[in-house]
Structure 1
Amino acid sequence: MKFLKPFLIIAFALGITACSPRTYVHVNNLAEYLRYQPGKKPQISAHRGGGDYNGYPENCIESFAFLARKMPIVIETDIAMTRDSVLLMMHDDTYERTTTGTGRVSDQTWEYAQTLHLEDNRGNRTRYRIPTLDEVLKWGRGKVIYTLDVKRSVPLHWVVEAVQRAGAANYAVIITYSVQQAELVHRLDPSLMISVTIRTMEEYQRLHEAGVPDNRMVAFVGTREAPAELYDFLHKKGIMCILGTLGNLDKMAIARGDEVYVKFVENGADILSTDRPIEAGRVLGLVK
């Protein structure tokens, strides 16, 4: 037994564990994992990485880990860029709301960002720091699926290159907001999954005509429930649908009870993007 103790000390220091929690998501083929199939379990996407829980800030690896231990989770996370071109995880253009810092992210260096502590959404300072995109991608392998929200100041090709560099194509989806962005991501790397906005059949048709294949799309249908015919149209093409419950639909759940998340799924949503991932996951039977 004497040899075992030094090994355990080294393993602990390196973050090695004997086995992964059963809630972790390890995917060999993301396109297949995100292909619609009747009867498939719904999924939960944590908006901004789930920053609405005490002590767990937005866009923070520690917050991602907190949720990933509770259920299989999709992490929606935001990418910004410092003045010296470091890609870091930050939703706002400025540091004030979510950190101990001040000023615009794009006006400050990465060296400055490293001096800051993250704050949760109630303004409580934590010991956690702002992670880079590279750090987030490295941590997420075998644990979560990411949907990467690329802020306007960030070159899309840099994000694609970071995903390629990390070998993260099987657990990272690129969020796009226009046909042009989706077409660019697909041209840069045809193997990547892309989150596209499809609120009408016409929006689907424009993406189709731009050459974005059905088997690379995950459809964000908006922040209000989509018509049944749109869900049916997309499902017949094997495209999973993300409903953004963040905002009004989450408020509806608070007012009427969390069972409304079940109704959203019954009506056609496959992935719920929410600020209340634990509550939604619990009522859908996903929380372990």
Structure 2
Amino acid sequence: MQKAINCCLPLVLLLFFGSCFRSNTETNTLGTGNTRQVFNFKGIEDLYRFLTYSENRVPLISAHRGGPDIDYPENAIETFQRVASKMPAIIECDIALTKDSVLVLMHDETLDRTTTGGGKVSRYTLAELKELHLKDPAGTVTNYRIPTLEETLRWGIGQVIFTLDVKRNVPYQLVVDAIRKTKSEAYVVIITYSANQAAVVHNLAPDLMISASIKNIEDLIRLNDMDIPDTRLVAFIGTSQADKNLTDLLHQHGILCILGTIGNLDRQAQERGEQVYAEYIENGADILSTDRPFQAAKTLDYYGKQRGLSSPFVN
């Protein structure tokens, strides 16, 4: 019997350590390349197909500012990774410009609220910003640093889809250049707030996907008049309950609808129960931009399983 145990022991240890090594490869270590594939896009054409409406489309979560939480700051790669490890996610993040013309992730014009620094982002070089630490939503200082857009895009390939909110005075051309340099076209949507902005982005990079503000039929007509094809659009339809006539029209054009639940609609879900997130989808939304990504994702996961929704582009 002892001999049998002695013979089995090396095998048990091998299996144990082998499982440890496997689990380590399933969790990405920042900066060492992607090891956890979430989205299976061979190229940008797959992104077009994935972001085109069909009755079998998989409802998605967009984590507002990346899904900040206790110990996890907004606009930090570590925060994005936490979200991506739990769900197929869209990560909404914000782009600012340093004194030495480097694109970094930062929502505010100033550093005071979210970092250990102070004053305007534009007055600091990248090297100076890298000395600072990010704060979580409660103001607690973390070990995390301000990432550049390039670092973020390289990390995100295969793991998330980004919607990039380009802040005032940041040239769209620099953003497009960063996307080209990192070859992340298949994982990026650029946010715009007017038909004119959408036209500027489309003229610079006609292959890239655009999030456009579409709150009525006239907004869609303006975008079409500027020769922006429906296949390059996802529609941000606002932060109040969706207008079914509008979402039906957009769906007829193959355009997915992003509903901003940030604020009032998130509060409704918190007060009435998480099933409210499924009601938003039933009423015409396809993507929920939320400050409560984990709660909303749990509801949408159940919603999708009950209806047998899946996609060949999602692991």
After TM superposition, the score normalised by the length of structure 1 is 0.92
1:146-185 to structure 2, matched below 5 A, reads: 146-185=162-201
1:188 CA displacement: 0.9
| Corresponding position: 1:233 with 2:245 | no
1:96-115 to structure 2, matched below 5 A, reads: 96-115=112-131
8 Å contact from structure 2 (residues 266, 292) kept in 1: yes
Rounded to whole Å, the distance in 2 between the matches of 1:195 and 1:259 is 26
| Corresponding position: 1:27 with 2:41 | yes
Rounded to whole Å, the distance in 2 between the matches of 1:35 and 1:171 is 14
Rounded to whole Å, the distance in 2 between the matches of 1:26 and 1:85 is 33
8 Å contact from structure 1 (residues 26, 141) kept in 2: no
* Runs of 4+ more than 4 Å apart: 11-14
1:13 CA displacement: 9.8
Q: Deviations over 1:124-152 (max 9, x none)?
A: 11100000000000000110000000001
Same amino acid, percent of matched pairs: 50
1:73 is aligned to 89
2:32 is aligned to 15
Structure 2: 5+ residue stretches without partners: 1-13, 305-314
Rounded to whole Å, the distance in 1 between the matches of 2:213 and 2:31 is 40
Greater Rg by CA: 2
8 Å contact from structure 2 (residues 30, 155) kept in 1: no
SS at structure 2 position matched to 1:184? helix
In structure 2, what residue type is equivalent to 1:274? T
SS at structure 2 position matched to 1:284? helix
1:93 is aligned to 109
SS at structure 2 position matched to 1:148? strand
2:10 is aligned to none
1:16 CA displacement: 6.2
More helix by share: 2
Judging changes above 3 Å, is the alpha-carbon distance between structure 1 residues 161 and 14 closer, same or farther for their aligned structure 2 residues? closer
Q: Deviations over 1:12-43 (max 9, x none)?
A: 897368x526xx22323211110001131100
| Corresponding position: 1:201 with 2:217 | yes
In structure 2, what residue type is equivalent to 1:200? N
In structure 2, what residue type is equivalent to 1:95? L
In structure 1, what residue type is equivalent to 2:52? R
Q: Deviations over 1:82-101 (max 9, x none)?
A: 11111000000111111111
| Corresponding position: 1:40 with 2:54 | no
In structure 1, what residue type is equivalent to 2:63? A
SS at structure 1 position matched to 2:301? coil
1:47-62 to structure 2, matched below 5 A, reads: 47-51=64-68, 53-62=69-78
Structure 1: 5+ residue stretches without partners: none
Rounded to whole Å, the distance in 1 between the matches of 2:180 and 2:100 is 21
Rounded to whole Å, the distance in 2 between the matches of 1:205 and 1:106 is 37
Q: Deviations over 1:73-113 (max 9, x none)?
A: 00000000111111000000111111111111112221221
In structure 2, what residue type is equivalent to 1:25? F
Rounded to whole Å, the distance in 1 between the matches of 2:122 and 2:278 is 41
More deviation in 248-257 or 207-216?
Answer: 248-257
SS at structure 1 position matched to 2:91? strand
In structure 2, what residue type is equivalent to 1:81? L
Rounded to whole Å, the distance in 1 between the matches of 2:199 and 2:288 is 25
8 Å contact from structure 2 (residues 166, 191) kept in 1: yes
8 Å contact from structure 1 (residues 25, 73) kept in 2: no
8 Å contact from structure 2 (residues 33, 155) kept in 1: no
In structure 2, what residue type is equivalent to 1:256? R
Rounded to whole Å, the distance in 2 between the matches of 1:271 and 1:160 is 24
In structure 2, what residue type is equivalent to 1:279? Q
8 Å contact from structure 2 (residues 266, 290) kept in 1: yes
Among residues 238, 241, 261, which one is paired with 1:245 in the alignment?
261
| Corresponding position: 1:273 with 2:289 | yes
